[in-house]
């Protein structure tokens, strides 16, 4: 790892939607944050040479490759970033770990819990990251701060719905997401994993789950929707719903927390806002504060634009990367990492088990 | 029953919050609807004489009584309206039925399914009503019309949350609602019953349920919150949540339906609105219609005020009563009646069974 | 005036939409408030006998009359309530005042300022009221309280829009509202008068105005829309807009105040809410509080239903009447009265003058 | 101009907030759009050498300069982009035009109309652009399309408010914006200019204006707020309000249009949404469509992220630049250009004249 030079050469494996989001983050992070490293977009790697070359040309990668095995062992590569389809995560991550690289990987981390554990074990001594990017939505980071400050108080309810509608559209691209061998699961791994990661961050350990998985589409291999009830270690209870069949919703990653002192509500389709209820407001003016999370006093936002100028989806990747590089320079642990993703994977496995058995299941 | 005279003498048993809402309906229904009957507010009956007399004086009941047994058998009474605490519903209803009265009863109908069935059996040949008043919120009646017209299409998801917060407030009145012997249950009978009644009306039969019941408050006899997952006969899946611990929410009786053609969203705290998504709108302008349900073309609203002038909570009782009297005059069945309430009670029992067993339960 | 008996016999002149709203208030006020008087719905009076009789039958007036002149001088009438078309207000009010009655009158009070002054002079020693009912929307009364407590601070901006759309619909009833001889003006007297009355209550004296009046419809006698800029005596500045051509809006009586310490936002189509911004909230959670104004601690609402149960349009008349009767019993001045309406009328005249001259005008 | 090489060397004069937004656009435009040119970030120029060098380092400009006069005449520069304070726009633009450069300039274009006309004349034969970036908010571009398709119909009302609150905060940076010699005006040039540019694009020529300008802060040289009423050539009427004293609002660039067939509503604080009312929807479901403007069928958005993934403020600059480069390659006129900005400047001058005279003024 070229630490002394403070340059980091990046190889990205994959070039789809996530490849664009990651490329953007690698390029933009240094514009908005003072970085301890210079990131070099060394190589982008994908099965289809023309597509990889188009990606390289558009986003400024120095070169395009098609053979990830040779890329991840190259001595001039410091960082391997994985955004290939889910079923490839493990082998790429293991090989990169074997080669001693910094490993960044898209979510869901693995096809199953066993694989996830193996991967986490492989990278344990290496800097690593899983792209649960929504932790760094400024409004969600603010939610975490408020929870940490006790503004919500003892929690009673956690409620998460991740609602999309494209599963009902047969013309929609991204077909690998419907194949069990490549995606592992449907709404569960794609959407519920995000909701669970946020729940773990905001409300702690989940001790029990009962669930229902549903495939509405004939002959589809993966779940279109998944529902779950949960118990948390802190005594609160939760409902979770992730679906690709919520007509009218596009990317409604939503959660609410109700506690003894307050409540919090977030919706990714309105991601620069956080609704905050404070039971300690004067009685006559109690009501959810509609907070535009773009202020100088909010997490991350002062790095972007002045107050009142909203940010978009891609900034969540930029903020994630900035924090990761900061931890890297300070030699501090970064979250969410592979171990954090294992916790999510345990829950996904419990959800699947419960959906089969019809019983409450402990992860 | 004094049908020939077209006068209906009403006796109301109970004088709490619901007593006021019912009194208001008996008085107001004739102002907004052309009625086939004249309603006479004959007697209000309650344990505490002073309170009953105050109620009579304030709302214009001809007299106050304290002994419901003698009232329900009086020959000058045509209608017995029950809004006493839940544990009294059955005995009053049975006695009134025995005396051949028209029987109106608050929800939840009964303390348990057996009791509900017995009550339904008793009133089967008599006109009867259960005050699931939210069916006649104009926006909900519009939702029903839209579902009926196929505007939602094949349903995928049903999602209901009934969120209140007063359970956490020890100073709040209505203490009988926390006692198992009087209320039967907590959030389940009080709130979830409403959500289930609406779900049955809007989305049909529920075939299976798994649930969790929670009491946050030490020594409280009833549930503070109840969660459930369900399967519907039409192939859709549902989540239900009812709680008195949703800090910041006061009366958020909320539901959403997602179907192949559209979606619907309702929130009682904004009860003059319905959000309607239509997948057949032109692509560029697809988005939930924010419908102010006060128009000449909407259910019930032309009876009240001109378009744009909103109605309040109590109008739902007025519209319910108007429909009931109309059915009575036409000798047509009215819904929701005791049989409909039995269906809700079956589900409540299944919810309780599942909460104990941890398994999916068929009602 | 039959004060010793504490009964008040009411005669209502007019039987349209406002006649229904007033009848409702006379009937309902005693159900929700402890009244110092018993109101007797003695007679309803209107040109068309059949319509007057229908009104009497539906709402429980003891009798229907067609000759207002004879009604207002009857010795068995204590209160004359005027909701006839605008051009009749003056003569009825003057006759009722001459006969020493309590006089209640719909807005706009008069056809012009001279008439309004004459009317105010005639009733000066008599209890009197003008039905600017929106002052008693609980959320608006809360706004007034907050302004009074200094929660808004030194005001900078006042912004009012009263947006309806029915002016564009030729089929809409209420044709007298388009005739200059009966209505006096269009959107100005009908809608802007409400906005100005609220502005005077919430933000004080208006010292100067410039305006534009517009009639979109060929051959229509009255204004379809009116716009105005204003200066207030307290140093703040205002914009006003009232129109019957705001497609998509039904009864959007909206205002905002921005001051040094906070801001307030109200919309009649969502009339149980008030948005309140408090600059003194902690920096990270500053944002408009979305206040559901149905609480025990809010103005008027504890008289109606428990927290979270919203009220409708007609309750504003009930609350107005309750306050009026309370003032009457205590022999205290009530607002808004005819003198208050004269202040509105001065502003309407200034608006008309400015619209003709194109210059800033002092009322 | 280095057209044959298809490379464009850019010099940016200024390095404040706008310098960052422009730098971002120059870097990002090629990632999201297929460009006919390669943009080279040649030099950034500003008075303070250290600041200019920091800017160059952070955003990848090849070099930093402090003397704009020498920069704009350099033969290796193709594009001069001006984001220096307002009072410098004219001299830099004139010099760049003299040197035959492509000229891009921030808004407001000039300190007064005469200056604006002189600048427009100077660049007439050169490709030029004024950064009225909000025209390319996807939701606003959609609004323009809908207006063009007749979805709003004959317009009645145009209503624009641009509400910020930082003018009341003495600690806020950007002090030059309060100095008349550098900024020219306050809220008028900074905010109202945006609202007027959008109004001209969406609703056409403004024929008359009456206005009020207000400075709340003692000793402040520029206006804190400006209000105006307008008449449009198409027969509709308008209200405009721009202020830095709207407590609680951060960047609420808002407009509404009401026409015979529909209505449109936009708020920059929620910039990925457009509310669209269509009078031709079925009566029962009429209501504003809440359109999340991130779809494949919406303007610009398919270049960014998949449906449901929102964009931020800076994308408006990227889309503006993409369109400009496309026009440049096709040798087609681009809007908004200096001539378009002259039209805005005419209106600003009319607003100032009217504010002084108190009369309606024709631009």
Clarify whether residues D278 and D169 are in a common domain. Answer: yes
How confident is the prediction for chain D on average, in pLDDT?
A: 95
Strands C79-82 and A273-278: unpaired
Whether C2 is covered by a domain: the verdict is: no
Convert the pLDDT of each residue in C174-223 to its tens digit: 678 888 998 889 999 999 999 999 999 999 999 999 999 999 999 899 99
Min Cα separation C38/chain B (Å): 11
Interchain CB distance below 8 Å, A258 and B247: yes
Interchain CB distance below 8 Å, D305 and A315: no
- β-strand partners of C212: C227
Clarify whether residues C124 and C270 are in a common domain. Answer: no
Clarify whether residues B149 and B112 are in a common domain. Answer: no
Q: Which of A248, A255, A277, A354 to mutate to test the interface with B (most CBs of B within 10 A)?
A: A248
Q: With beta carbons less than 8 A apart as the criterion, state whether A125 and A205 touch.
A: no
Residue C174 pLDDT:
66
Q: What is the dihedral of CA C149, C152, C155, C160, to 10 degrees?
A: -110
Clarify whether residues A219 and A82 are in a common domain. Answer: no
Looking at the predicted structure, is the pLDDT value of residue B73 above 50? yes
Whether D1 is covered by a domain: the verdict is: no
- Residue C5 — very low, low, confident or very high, per pLDDT cuts 50/70/90? low
Closest chain C residue to D247, measured at CA:
C258
Clarify whether residues A173 and A295 are in a common domain. Answer: yes
Looking at the predicted structure, is the pLDDT value of residue C337 above 50? yes
* Residue numbers in chain A where pLDDT is lower than 50: 1-4
Residue A178 pLDDT:
87
How confident is the prediction for chain C on average, in pLDDT?
A: 95
Residue A1 pLDDT:
37
Domain extent, residue B50, equals 7-131
Interchain CB distance below 8 Å, D241 and C239: yes
- Partners of chain D (3+ Cβ pairs below 8 A): A, B, C
Of the partner residues C145, C287, C292, the one whose CB lies closest to the CB of residue A289: C287
User: Whose CA is closest to C37, among C325, C323, C324?
Assistant: C325
Residue D183 pLDDT:
86
Which chain D positions have a beta carbon within 8 Å of B295's beta carbon? Answer: 283-284, 286
C106 secondary structure, DSSP code: P
Closest chain D residue to C262, measured at CA:
D247
Of the partner residues C210, C214, C237, the one whose CB lies closest to the CB of residue D225: C237
* Tokens linked to D332: 């087609």
Whether B164 is covered by a domain: the verdict is: yes
Does the N-terminal peptide bond of residue A108 adopt cis geometry, omega within 30 degrees of 0? yes
How confident is the prediction for chain B on average, in pLDDT?
A: 95
Which chain D positions have a beta carbon within 8 Å of B142's beta carbon? Answer: 284
Min Cα separation D306/chain C (Å): 30
* CATH, residue D52: 3.40.50.720
Structural Rg of chain D based on CA atoms: 20
Clarify whether residues C35 and C175 are in a common domain. Answer: no
| Rounded mean pLDDT, B349-358 | 98
| Rounded mean pLDDT, B29-58 | 96
Interchain CB distance below 8 Å, D24 and A30: no
Write out the residues of chain B at the interface with chain D, using a CB-CB cutoff of 8 A. Answer: 142, 145-146, 151, 275-276, 278, 281, 283-292, 295, 297-298
Write out the residues of chain D at the interface with chain A, using a CB-CB cutoff of 8 A. Answer: 17, 20-21, 23-24, 27-28, 30-31, 58-60, 164, 166, 249-252, 269-272, 292, 294, 304-315
Interchain CB distance below 8 Å, A292 and D250: yes
Q: With beta carbons less than 8 A apart as the criterion, state whether C76 and C42 touch.
A: yes
Which chain C positions have a beta carbon within 8 Å of B17's beta carbon? Answer: 305-306
| Rounded mean pLDDT, D196-208 | 98
* Tokens linked to D65: 């300069």
Min Cα separation A86/chain C (Å): 38
- Partners of chain C (3+ Cβ pairs below 8 A): A, B, D
Tell me how long chain C is: 363
Clarify whether residues D170 and D127 are in a common domain. Answer: no
Task: Dihedral sign for Cα A108, A109, A115, A116, please.
Answer: negative
Residue A174 pLDDT:
66
DSSP-based three-state secondary structure for C15: coil
Residue C2 pLDDT:
37
Clarify whether residues D248 and D299 are in a common domain. Answer: yes
Interchain CB distance below 8 Å, D307 and A251: yes
Interchain CB distance below 8 Å, C286 and A295: yes
d(CA A259, CA C49): 61
Choose between D60 and A172: higher pLDDT: D60
Closest chain C residue to A289, measured at CA:
C289
Whether B104 is covered by a domain: the verdict is: yes
d(CA D228, CA D188): 11
Clarify whether residues C169 and C113 are in a common domain. Answer: no
Interchain CB distance below 8 Å, A229 and B231: no
Q: What is the 3-state secondary structure (H, E, C) of chain A?
A: CCCCCCEEEEEEECCCHHHHHHHHHHHHHHHHCCCCCEEEEEEEECCCHHHHHHHHHHHCCCEEECCHHHHHCCCCCCEEEECCCHHHHHHHHHHHHHCCCEEEECCCCCCCHHHHHHHHHHHCCCCEEECCHHHHCHHHHHHHHHHHCCCCCCEEEEEEEEECCHHHCCCCCCHHHHCHHHHCCCHHHHHHHHHHHHHHHHHCCEEEEEEEEECCCCCCCCCCEEEEEEEECCCCEEEEEEECCCCCCCCEEEEEEEECCEEEEEEHHHCCEEEEEECCCCHHHCCEEEEECCCCCCCCHHHCCCCCCCCCCCHHHHHHHHHHHHHHHHCCCCCCCHHHHHHHHHHHHHHHHHHHHCECECC
Convert the pLDDT of each residue in D159-185 to its tens digit: 999 999 999 886 666 678 888 998 889
Whether A363 is covered by a domain: the verdict is: no
| Rounded mean pLDDT, D33-56 | 96
Choose between B219 and C281: higher pLDDT: C281
Min Cα separation C103/chain B (Å): 25
Domain boundary among D99, D134, D169: D134
Looking at the predicted structure, is the pLDDT value of residue C4 above 80? no
Min Cα separation C246/chain D (Å): 5
- Partners of chain B (3+ Cβ pairs below 8 A): A, C, D
Whether A321 is covered by a domain: the verdict is: no
* CATH, residue D249: 3.30.360.10
Q: What is the dihedral of CA B72, B73, B78, B82, to 10 degrees?
A: 10
Of the partner residues D285, D290, D298, the one whose CB lies closest to the CB of residue B284: D298
Residue D169 pLDDT:
80
Which chain A positions have a beta carbon within 8 Å of B168's beta carbon? Answer: 156, 260
Domain boundary among D134, D149, D172: D134
List % helix, strand, coil for chain B (3-state, nearest 5): 40, 25, 35
Closest chain B residue to D141, measured at CA:
B284
Residue D4 pLDDT:
41
Query: Which ipTM score applies to this complex?
Result: 0.95
Convert the pLDDT of each residue in B250-289 to its tens digit: 999 999 999 999 999 999 999 999 999 999 999 999 999 9
User: C-alpha angle D151/D154/D159, rounded to 5°?
Assistant: 90
Clarify whether residues A277 and A139 are in a common domain. Answer: yes
Q: With beta carbons less than 8 A apart as the criterion, state whether A119 and A94 touch.
A: yes
Of the partner residues B252, B270, B312, the one whose CB lies closest to the CB of residue C270: B270
Looking at the predicted structure, is the pLDDT value of residue B4 above 90? no
Interchain CB distance below 8 Å, A31 and D17: no
Looking at the predicted structure, is the pLDDT value of residue D331 above 80? yes
| Rounded mean pLDDT, B122-137 | 98
Min Cα separation D234/chain B (Å): 25
Clarify whether residues C234 and C272 are in a common domain. Answer: yes
| Rounded mean pLDDT, B167-194 | 86
Residue D206 pLDDT:
98
Min Cα separation C141/chain A (Å): 11
Domain boundary among C131, C161, C190: C131
Min Cα separation A350/chain B (Å): 15
Q: Which of D270, D282, D287 to mutate to test the interface with B (most CBs of B within 10 A)?
A: D287
Interchain CB distance below 8 Å, C210 and D210: yes
d(CA B122, CA C178): 59
Of the partner residues C237, C277, C359, the one whose CB lies closest to the CB of residue D227: C237
Clarify whether residues A87 and A127 are in a common domain. Answer: yes
DSSP-based three-state secondary structure for C198: helix
Min Cα separation B159/chain A (Å): 10
Whether D202 is covered by a domain: the verdict is: yes
Say how many domains are in chain D.
2
Whether B318 is covered by a domain: the verdict is: no
Residue B1 pLDDT:
37
């Amino acid at each position: 790892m070229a630490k002394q030079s403070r340059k980091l050469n990046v190889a990205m494996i994959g070039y789809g939607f996530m490849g664009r989001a990651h490329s953007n983050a690698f390029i933009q992070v240094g514009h908005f944050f003072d970085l301890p490293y210079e990131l070099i977009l060394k190589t982008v790697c994908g099965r289809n040479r023309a597509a990889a070359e188009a990606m390289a040309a558009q986003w400024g990668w120095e070169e395009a490759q098609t053979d990830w095995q040779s890329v991840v062992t190259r001595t001039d590569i410091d960082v391997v970033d994985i955004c290939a389809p889910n079923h490839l995560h493990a082998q790429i991550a293991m090989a990169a770990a074997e080669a001693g690289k910094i490993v960044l990987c898209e979510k869901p981390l693995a096809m199953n819990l066993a694989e996830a554990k193996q991967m986490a074990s492989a990278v344990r001594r290496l800097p690593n990251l899983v792209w649960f990017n929504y932790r760094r939505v400024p409004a969600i980071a603010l939610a975490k701060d408020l929870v940490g400050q006790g503004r919500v108080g003892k929690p009673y309810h956690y409620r998460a719905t991740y609602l999309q509608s494209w599963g009902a559209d047969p013309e929609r691209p991204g077909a690998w997401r419907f194949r069990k061998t490549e995606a592992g699961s449907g709404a569960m791994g794609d959407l519920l994993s995000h909701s669970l990661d946020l729940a773990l961050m905001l409300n702690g350990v989940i001790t029990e789950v009962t669930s229902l998985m549903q495939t509405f589409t004939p002959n589809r291999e993966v779940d279109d929707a998944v529902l779950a009830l949960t118990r948390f270690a802190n005594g609160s209870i939760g409902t979770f719903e992730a679906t690709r069949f919520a007509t009218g919703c596009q990317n409604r990653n939503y959660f609410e927390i109700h506690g003894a002192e307050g409540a919090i509500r977030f919706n990714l389709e309105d991601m620069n806002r956080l609704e905050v209820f404070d039971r300690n407001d004067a009685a006559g003016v109690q009501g959810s504060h509609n907070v535009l999370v773009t202020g100088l006093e909010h997490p991350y936002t002062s790095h972007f634009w002045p107050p009142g100028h909203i940010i978009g989806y891609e900034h969540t990747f930029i903020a994630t990367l900035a924090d990761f590089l900061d931890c890297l320079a300070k030699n501090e642990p970064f979250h969410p990492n592979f171990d954090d993703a294992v916790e999510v994977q345990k829950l996904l496995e419990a959800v699947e088990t419960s959906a089969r058995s019809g019983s409450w299941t402990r992860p």
